[in-house]
């Protein structure tokens, strides 16, 4: 859906040329800053003209228990977003021929070098916001990003609210047993 509306999509930004549009108000100067500013203006206009319900489609599964709005979804696709304080455009707008290439002097790393395991990717990619688990998807212990039907995450959240994590439960059990042994020794 996002590519369809061309809302701050890096692919769309990098592949856009003035010839692609018939808008007579388009600034066709050769100054990169003016072109970038005009492109951002056009993309912003496109975004505001898109119906909110279309933007919220990505949030629909969590609507009941989250603050996800069209703005949240749009912000996640912004180059400079306040979500996770991450700038998708941290290297500047790049042309197609520059995409997936390291800047001069920079050391390129394979994805597998940065995140060698599923666990490292899961736990490190968004500042330790997620915890890797070996539980099965249907265990009732794992949050699910995408699902059909009723939101299974409510029961997962209730479980951890009422029972805590396995580590917390183990620590409480260990403490209780240690306390019991100590009391028996008295």
Task: Give strand pairing partners of 87.
Answer: 80
CA distances from 18 to 2, 29, 44, 50, 53 (A): 21, 10, 16, 22, 30
* The predicted structure's pLDDT at residue 84: 62
Buried b (16+ CB within 10 A) or exposed e, 57-83: ebbebbeeeeebebebbbebbbbebee
pLDDT in tens, 87-138: 666 666 766 666 666 777 888 888 899 899 989 988 888 778 788 888 888 8
Encoded tokens for 43:
């993309």
pLDDT exceeds 80 at position 151: yes
Residues constituting the chain = 186
pTM of the model: 0.38
pLDDT in tens, 61-74: 766 766 666 677 77
């Amino acid at each position: 859906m996002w590519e369809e509306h061309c809302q701050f999509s890096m692919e769309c930004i990098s592949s856009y040329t003035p010839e692609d549009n018939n808008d007579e108000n388009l600034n066709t100067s050769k100054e990169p800053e003016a072109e970038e500013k005009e492109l951002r203006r056009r993309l912003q206009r496109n975004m505001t003209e898109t119906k909110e319900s279309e933007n919220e489609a990505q949030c629909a599964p969590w609507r009941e228990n989250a603050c996800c709005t069209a703005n949240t979804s749009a912000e996640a696709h912004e180059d400079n977003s306040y979500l996770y304080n991450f700038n998708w455009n941290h290297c500047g707008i790049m042309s197609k021929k520059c995409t997936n290439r390291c800047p001069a002097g920079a050391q390129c790393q394979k994805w597998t070098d940065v995140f060698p395991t599923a666990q490292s990717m899961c736990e490190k990619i968004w500042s330790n916001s997620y915890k890797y688990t070996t539980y099965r998807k249907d265990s009732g212990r794992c949050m699910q990003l995408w699902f059909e039907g009723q939101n299974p995450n409510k029961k997962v959240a209730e479980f951890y609210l009422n029972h805590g994590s396995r580590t917390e439960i183990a620590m409480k059990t260990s403490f209780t047993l240690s306390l019991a042994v100590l009391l028996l020794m008295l």
